[in-house]
Amino acid sequence: MALFGTDGIRGLANRDLTAELALDVSVAAAHILVESSSNKDHRPTAIVGQDSRASGEFLEAAVVAGLTSAGINVYRVGVLPTPAIAHLVAESKADLGVMISASHNPMPDNGIKLFARGGGKLDDVIEARIEARKGEDWERPTGRNVGRAINDDTATERYLKHVLASVQTPLKGLKIVVDCANGASSFVAPEAYRRAGAEVIAIFNQPDGWNINDDCGSTHLHQLRAAVLKEGADVGIAHDGDADRCLAIDAAGNEIDGDHILTILARGFKARGVLKGNTVVGTVMSNLGFMHAMKDAGITVVTTPVGDRYVLENMIANDYSLGGEQSGHVIMRDLANTGDGILTALQLLQEVVRTGKTLQELAATMVRFPQVLINVKDVAKDKLTQSTVINSAIKSAEDRLGDSGRVLLRASGTEPLVRVMVEASSDSLAQEVAQQLADTVKKEISL
């Protein structure tokens, strides 16, 4: 089984993802960094951050130990969003970034995300090289050749300055609630929105090491919905544990997902003449309603496999400026080189102020097709595409739905399961077809 998934290494902390593994991966990454450096007299540097999980404490210690023992100078920035690490790597011209986080996963999980020079995620080839060299024998530096670990107390303010530089229209007059998921955005998101001019009510912004994503954040929107309605707020913003996602709630309590946000931003970008190629990049999971909304707006949609790294790769290859996922990962290449939930929220809120329309009115330009997603657990996900029975069931479902629906089955890149997604003209039809397919998957490739 591959060590790296679609978004780095992820697993149950201290069981799948151990301190020993974190140290070995860090050493291997350091070796590749040193060997690929064009300046052999340059001592490589790394930025290391984490979300608020208790397990991040021992994993950070292991990562720092691995990197410094291999001769890398490490700047420790503490609890900050994943996109902050990407930005800081680019800004400081560091050779590597390491974010210790399992994003939206439950607290017992954790993960390691690696960023290359310039702040982009490592490509698959480099990850494969790191995995292949994990645990190899090596000559250890001594004396002045070992790396140093430095606490960087300026990182938070530098990241805030970066995101606030994107604010051209102050958010004066907006009352917002932000759910920080007791995660990495807890200390920066409320401050960013206040400095941008909004009246801010922060909830779930008191991380204690155990409560990250615990019935809060972008995967549990009912808490934010209740707070928006109670406070009479204009908008609710929800982040996940590492704050690379943004979802929203409008003043009436409706959920505004990543496809709605992309629709609003794409129309706004086009109106201001900054939508490069008149194109937005989505994924195979993008809702049919998003596709229709973009067609109505005269905007082209290009789709990629699920994963913001694939969205970004397509954007870079074709020089597009906007892309993202239904889950709330949104990439604006003129502002950042990775998905950033806080930047996304600031751009979304500016569209509300610029247009003078409510978030509900802006989101109404996209009518979401009913979608059902069923996670089928305990199956041999690597056999998904090999089953003729499953392939036949997919073909039958597609014939039944015609142009008014869509079917997608895919193996999760971060969890041991198969995802069955069905969109249809009605909830009942989507549910019926999805359940039939899920039952077929369970029967045919069950472990």
Q: Which residues are catalytic?
A: 103
| Token pair 């991966």 in the structure block, residue | 25
Structure tokens of 107? 């607290």
C-beta separation of 229 from 249 below 8 A? no
- Among residues 259, 244, 269, 204, which one has the least CA distance to residue 343? 244
Distance CA 250, CA 357 (A): 12
Distance CA 27, CA 46 (A): 12
Distance CA 238, CA 374 (A): 23
Distance CA 50, CA 60 (A): 7
- Rounded CA Rg of the chain: 22
Region of 43 (left: φ > 0; alpha: ψ -120 to 50; beta: rest) is: beta
Structure tokens of 116? 């290359």
Q: Which residues contact 165 (CB under 8 A, 6 or more apart)?
A: none
Number of H helices, E strands in the chain: 14, 18
Phi, psi of 208 (to 5 degrees): -125, 10
